[in-house]
Amino acid sequence: MFLHDKNIYMNPINKELLQQFRSPAFPGSFFLSFEGIEGAGKSTQIISAKEYLESQGFRVLILREPGGTPFGEKLRQAILNSKTELEPISEAYLFASSRAQLLTEVTLKELNVPGTIIIYDRYIDSSIAYQGIARGLGIETILGIHSTFPLNLMPHKTFYLKISLDTSFGRQRVRNSPKDYFESRGKDFYENLVTGFETSCELFPDRICVIDGNRGLDEVFESIKAEIDELIMKKDEQ
Ligand code: TYD
């Protein structure tokens, strides 16, 4: 599939649909997410963010998508180990089902405890990039599925770790780990993922912060830390 022209997807998104999405208001607690293609360095940066936030006195929980609840983990296995090609719309609803359970069973309850930070390893922007663009469903379909509570809850800040395809493939070669349902796809798929994440950044510019992930780990974390500090400071002032 050759879909790299993101303009096809930008035109029809209506403003009312975008207005359905908002961050939850819990005093002293934050909801963060990390996004990126394979090899972007999400896991490492999430651990650094957790350590930093704990040093600042926060209680930090890392949640992964899909998964994070007993039902979600079953869905994770069902999707990522699938030997048959699923319909893109089936994928979208499976990811959304796992997400809805994680939001109600864990995220909303934990955010109620002041001083909590929930960090998601992937969230709605992965659905936009993977199912919306790379699997061709269209962004409006993904936003539509997520426009109802609790799926309309957005992180206070999302870090999109942006890397080049050369960096991604180079890091994948070094890791040499077995490939799951999505990882074994070709370069076109990855190009479409990048288009998808970039489209998300354009749709949600206030929420998503683009971080250059091609740099060394420490340098990348410095950029993330600066954004985290700003977010916490702004909230304190409110
Ligand atoms: P995972 O092993 O967690 O991948 P990674 O280490 O790259 O984060 O597997 C999650 C896979 O599911 C990943 O390939 C991205 C994909 N995915 C979607 O297609 N849609 C979604 O909404 C989410 C959350 C993940």
Closest CA to ligand 1's atom 22: 127
CA 39, 159, 57, 31 torsion-angle sign? negative
65 found inside a domain = yes
Residue 125 domain boundaries: 29-187+197-237
Q: Is the CB of 125 under 6 A from ligand 1?
A: no
Q: How far is the CA of 27 from the centre of ligand 1 (A)?
A: 30
pLDDT above 70 covers what percent of the chain? 93
2 found inside a domain = no
CATH number at residue 43: 3.40.50.300
pTM for this predicted structure:
0.94
Is the predicted pLDDT of residue 7 greater than 60, yes or no? no
Q: How far is the CA of 122 from the centre of ligand 1 (A)?
A: 7
Q: Is the CB of 80 under 6 A from ligand 1?
A: yes
**Structure confidence at residue 237 (pLDDT):** 62
Q: How far is the CA of 81 from the centre of ligand 1 (A)?
A: 12
- Contact 146/132 with Cβ under 8 angstroms? no
**Structure confidence at residue 66 (pLDDT):** 87
Q: Are strands 208-212 and 116-121 parallel, antiparallel or unpaired?
A: unpaired
**Residue 214, SS3 per DSSP:** coil
Across 36-126, where does the E strand assignment appear? 59-64, 116-121
175 found inside a domain = yes
159 found inside a domain = yes
17 found inside a domain = no
**Structure confidence at residue 13 (pLDDT):** 84
Is the predicted pLDDT of residue 2 greater than 50, yes or no? no
Task: Give 163-198 pLDDT, tens digit per residue.
Answer: 999 999 999 888 878 877 887 788 999 999 999 999
Residue among 64, 76, 182 whose CB has most ligand 1 atoms within 8 A, to mutate: 182
Ligand 1 closest atom vs CA 135: 19
78, two tokens: 């069902």
Is the predicted pLDDT of residue 8 greater than 80, yes or no? no
Task: Give 118-147 pLDDT, tens digit per residue.
Answer: 999 999 999 999 999 999 999 999 999 999
10 found inside a domain = no
Q: Is the CB of 89 under 6 A from ligand 1?
A: no
> How far is it between the farthest Cα atoms of the chain?
51
Task: Give 53-101 pLDDT, tens digit per residue.
Answer: 999 999 999 999 888 899 999 999 989 888 899 999 999 999 999 999 9
- The DSSP secondary-structure symbol of 105 reads I
Sheet holding 157-162, edge to edge: 59-64, 116-121, 30-35, 157-162, 208-212
Ligand 1 closest atom vs CA 134: 19
Domains held by the chain: number: 1
- Contact 94/130 with Cβ under 8 angstroms? no
19 found inside a domain = no
21 found inside a domain = no
